[in-house]
């Protein structure tokens, strides 16, 4: 599939149709291409993940390294997840 254009608003339902080869996020319905993380960014992320995961051993909480998408339903209380226009 081709990358989305900025001529309309997009939702999580659209996001699910896009190729996982391109890292995208949607903010207020507008798609943004995410840059590839640098080596330094990955080193910092790895250390933070290790420290937090070690701290949470035996707890109910979990920590996940990127990439991991999060859907925020900021628009309405009863909005369906697939209609959300905020996917990070």
In this prediction the pTM is: 0.61
Number of folded domains that form the chain: 1
Q: Which domain holds residue 21?
A: 12-83
The pair of structure tokens assigned to 8 is 């309309």
Decide if 3 is inside a domain.
Answer: no
Decide if 55 is inside a domain.
Answer: yes
Decide if 50 is inside a domain.
Answer: yes
Decide if 76 is inside a domain.
Answer: yes
48 φ, ψ (degrees, to nearest 5): -60, -45
Decide if 5 is inside a domain.
Answer: no
Decide if 4 is inside a domain.
Answer: no
| Average pLDDT in the chain | 83
Decide if 48 is inside a domain.
Answer: yes
Condensed to tens digits (0 to 9), the pLDDT of residues 59-72 reads: 998 888 867 778 87
């Amino acid at each position: 599939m081709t990358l989305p254009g900025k001529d309309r608003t997009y939702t999580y339902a659209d996001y699910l149709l896009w190729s996982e080869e391109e890292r995208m996020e949607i903010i207020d319905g507008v798609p943004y291409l995410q840059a590839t993380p640098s080596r330094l960014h990955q080193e910092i992320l790895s250390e933070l993940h290790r420290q937090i995961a070690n701290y949470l051993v035996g707890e109910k909480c979990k920590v996940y390294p990127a990439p991991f998408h999060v859907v925020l339903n900021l628009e309405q209380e009863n909005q369906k997840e697939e209609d959300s226009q905020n996917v990070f």
